[in-house]
Copies of this chain bind each other. A is one copy, B any other.
Amino acid sequence: MRVLGIDPGLTRCGVGVVDGSVGRPLTMVHVGVYRTPADLDIAKRLHQLEQAVEAGILEHRPDVVAVERVFSQHNVRTVMGTAQASGIAMVVAARHGIPVQLHTPSEVKAAVTGSGRADKAQVTQMVTRLLRLTSAPTPADAADALALAICHIWRGGAQTRLQAAVEAQSLRTSGTASR
Protein backbone atom coordinates (compact mmCIF):
# COMPACT_ATOMS: atom_id res chain seq x y z
CA MET A 1 0.00 0.00 0.00
CA ARG A 2 1.28 3.46 -0.93
CA VAL A 3 0.12 6.29 1.31
CA LEU A 4 0.50 10.02 0.76
CA GLY A 5 0.52 11.75 4.14
CA ILE A 6 -0.37 15.44 4.18
CA ASP A 7 0.22 17.78 7.12
CA PRO A 8 -1.91 20.65 5.84
CA GLY A 9 -0.86 24.28 5.96
CA LEU A 10 -0.77 27.36 3.78
CA THR A 11 2.70 28.57 4.73
CA ARG A 12 4.17 25.06 4.86
CA CYS A 13 2.28 21.93 3.81
CA GLY A 14 4.24 18.78 4.63
CA VAL A 15 3.95 15.81 2.26
CA GLY A 16 5.38 12.32 2.65
CA VAL A 17 4.88 9.19 0.57
CA VAL A 18 5.47 5.81 2.20
CA ASP A 19 5.11 2.27 0.83
CA GLY A 20 4.39 -0.57 3.24
CA SER A 21 1.95 -2.89 4.93
CA VAL A 22 1.37 -4.16 8.46
CA GLY A 23 4.29 -6.31 9.62
CA ARG A 24 6.52 -5.45 6.66
CA PRO A 25 9.34 -2.88 6.46
CA LEU A 26 8.35 0.61 5.41
CA THR A 27 9.93 2.49 2.50
CA MET A 28 10.03 6.24 2.08
CA VAL A 29 9.23 7.18 -1.52
CA HIS A 30 9.16 10.95 -1.19
CA VAL A 31 9.23 13.74 1.35
CA GLY A 32 8.79 17.45 0.86
CA VAL A 33 7.09 20.68 1.78
CA TYR A 34 4.83 22.85 -0.36
CA ARG A 35 5.03 26.54 0.46
CA THR A 36 2.88 29.44 -0.68
CA PRO A 37 3.88 33.11 -0.34
CA ALA A 38 2.25 34.85 2.64
CA ASP A 39 1.76 38.09 0.69
CA LEU A 40 -0.43 36.48 -1.95
CA ASP A 41 -4.19 36.50 -1.41
CA ILE A 42 -5.64 33.40 0.14
CA ALA A 43 -7.56 32.21 -2.93
CA LYS A 44 -4.36 32.25 -4.99
CA ARG A 45 -2.40 30.50 -2.22
CA LEU A 46 -5.03 27.76 -2.11
CA HIS A 47 -4.85 27.46 -5.89
CA GLN A 48 -1.05 27.09 -5.79
CA LEU A 49 -1.43 24.46 -3.10
CA GLU A 50 -4.06 22.65 -5.18
CA GLN A 51 -1.70 22.52 -8.14
CA ALA A 52 1.15 21.21 -5.96
CA VAL A 53 -1.02 18.47 -4.39
CA GLU A 54 -2.37 17.55 -7.83
CA ALA A 55 1.17 17.20 -9.19
CA GLY A 56 2.19 15.11 -6.17
CA ILE A 57 -0.77 12.75 -6.61
CA LEU A 58 -0.12 12.36 -10.33
CA GLU A 59 3.58 11.69 -9.70
CA HIS A 60 3.24 9.20 -6.83
CA ARG A 61 -0.20 7.63 -7.46
CA PRO A 62 -0.97 6.84 -3.81
CA ASP A 63 -3.62 4.24 -2.88
CA VAL A 64 -4.76 6.40 0.02
CA VAL A 65 -4.30 10.00 1.13
CA ALA A 66 -3.95 10.46 4.89
CA VAL A 67 -4.60 14.00 6.14
CA GLU A 68 -4.12 15.39 9.62
CA ARG A 69 -7.47 16.20 11.20
CA VAL A 70 -7.60 19.90 12.05
CA PHE A 71 -9.07 21.00 15.35
CA SER A 72 -10.48 24.44 15.98
CA GLN A 73 -8.95 24.50 19.45
CA HIS A 74 -5.49 24.97 17.94
CA ASN A 75 -3.86 28.31 17.21
CA VAL A 76 -6.83 30.50 16.32
CA ARG A 77 -4.79 32.76 14.04
CA THR A 78 -3.73 30.02 11.64
CA VAL A 79 -6.45 27.39 12.00
CA MET A 80 -8.67 28.76 9.22
CA GLY A 81 -5.85 28.56 6.67
CA THR A 82 -4.96 25.09 7.91
CA ALA A 83 -8.58 23.93 7.60
CA GLN A 84 -8.84 25.37 4.10
CA ALA A 85 -5.55 23.74 3.09
CA SER A 86 -6.81 20.38 4.39
CA GLY A 87 -10.01 20.84 2.38
CA ILE A 88 -7.97 21.39 -0.77
CA ALA A 89 -5.88 18.27 -0.13
CA MET A 90 -9.06 16.21 0.40
CA VAL A 91 -10.84 17.49 -2.66
CA VAL A 92 -7.90 16.83 -4.97
CA ALA A 93 -7.73 13.25 -3.70
CA ALA A 94 -11.50 12.78 -4.05
CA ARG A 95 -11.37 14.14 -7.59
CA HIS A 96 -8.90 11.37 -8.45
CA GLY A 97 -11.07 8.75 -6.74
CA ILE A 98 -8.46 8.18 -4.03
CA PRO A 99 -9.84 7.41 -0.53
CA VAL A 100 -9.04 10.01 2.12
CA GLN A 101 -8.59 9.19 5.77
CA LEU A 102 -8.18 11.70 8.57
CA HIS A 103 -6.01 10.97 11.61
CA THR A 104 -5.74 13.11 14.71
CA PRO A 105 -2.31 14.30 15.86
CA SER A 106 -2.54 12.05 18.93
CA GLU A 107 -3.42 8.99 16.80
CA VAL A 108 -0.35 9.71 14.69
CA LYS A 109 1.93 10.16 17.69
CA ALA A 110 0.58 7.01 19.34
CA ALA A 111 1.06 5.00 16.15
CA VAL A 112 4.73 5.91 15.65
CA THR A 113 5.96 6.40 19.23
CA GLY A 114 3.51 4.42 21.37
CA SER A 115 2.40 7.60 23.16
CA GLY A 116 -0.30 10.04 22.04
CA ARG A 117 1.50 12.74 23.98
CA ALA A 118 4.94 12.36 22.39
CA ASP A 119 6.75 15.56 21.40
CA LYS A 120 7.89 16.54 17.92
CA ALA A 121 11.47 15.38 18.53
CA GLN A 122 10.28 11.87 19.45
CA VAL A 123 8.04 11.68 16.38
CA THR A 124 10.90 12.78 14.11
CA GLN A 125 13.29 10.30 15.75
CA MET A 126 10.88 7.38 15.31
CA VAL A 127 10.05 8.33 11.72
CA THR A 128 13.78 8.45 10.94
CA ARG A 129 14.29 5.03 12.53
CA LEU A 130 11.20 3.33 11.05
CA LEU A 131 12.06 4.49 7.54
CA ARG A 132 15.79 3.73 8.08
CA LEU A 133 16.79 7.23 6.99
CA THR A 134 20.36 8.39 7.38
CA SER A 135 19.23 11.82 8.61
CA ALA A 136 16.07 13.23 10.13
CA PRO A 137 13.55 14.70 7.68
CA THR A 138 13.16 18.47 8.04
CA PRO A 139 11.22 20.65 8.59
CA ALA A 140 8.89 19.19 11.24
CA ASP A 141 5.94 19.36 8.81
CA ALA A 142 7.72 16.91 6.51
CA ALA A 143 8.38 14.48 9.37
CA ASP A 144 4.74 14.81 10.46
CA ALA A 145 3.54 13.99 6.95
CA LEU A 146 5.66 10.81 6.94
CA ALA A 147 4.33 9.94 10.41
CA LEU A 148 0.77 10.34 9.08
CA ALA A 149 1.50 7.95 6.23
CA ILE A 150 3.03 5.40 8.63
CA CYS A 151 0.07 5.79 11.00
CA HIS A 152 -2.29 5.08 8.16
CA ILE A 153 -0.42 1.99 7.03
CA TRP A 154 -0.46 0.57 10.57
CA ARG A 155 -3.96 1.47 11.68
CA GLY A 156 -5.88 3.03 8.83
CA GLY A 157 -6.46 0.14 6.47
CA ALA A 158 -9.28 -1.39 8.50
CA GLN A 159 -10.91 2.04 8.99
CA THR A 160 -10.90 2.76 5.26
CA ARG A 161 -12.51 -0.60 4.44
CA LEU A 162 -15.13 -0.14 7.16
CA GLN A 163 -15.97 3.36 5.92
CA ALA A 164 -16.31 2.15 2.32
CA ALA A 165 -18.68 -0.61 3.47
CA VAL A 166 -20.79 1.84 5.50
CA GLU A 167 -21.04 4.22 2.55
CA ALA A 168 -21.91 1.46 0.09
CA GLN A 169 -24.67 0.32 2.47
CA SER A 170 -25.90 3.88 2.92
CA LEU A 171 -26.03 4.48 -0.85
CA ARG A 172 -27.96 1.25 -1.35
CA THR A 173 -30.44 2.28 1.35
CA SER A 174 -31.00 5.85 0.17
CA GLY A 175 -31.05 5.08 -3.55
CA THR A 176 -28.88 7.93 -4.82
CA ALA A 177 -26.78 10.55 -3.10
CA SER A 178 -28.78 13.74 -3.33
CA ARG A 179 -27.08 17.11 -3.40
Chain A positions near chain B (C-beta within 8 angstroms)? 34-37, 39-44, 46-48, 50, 52, 70-73, 76, 79-80, 83-88, 90-91, 93-95, 99-100, 102, 163, 167, 170, 174, 177-179
Contacts of A88 in B (CB 8 A): 87-88, 91
Residue in A36, A43, A47, A84 whose Cβ sees the most chain B Cβ within 10 Å: A43
Known: A39-B170, A178-B37, A179-B52. A44 touches B94 (CB 8 A): yes
Q: Chain A contact residues: over half helix, strand or loop, or mixed?
A: helix
Most buried by B among A73, A86, A178: A86
- For A42, what are the chain B residues with a Cβ–Cβ distance below 8 Å? 90, 100, 102
Closest 8 pairs (CB-CB, A-B): A84-B87, A83-B83, A47-B94, A43-B100, A43-B90, A43-B94, A87-B87, A46-B91
B177 and A40 form a contact (CB under 8 A): yes
A-B contact pairs, 10 of them (CB 8 A): A39-B174, A40-B170, A41-B163, A41-B167, A44-B94, A46-B91, A47-B91, A50-B91, A72-B80, A83-B84
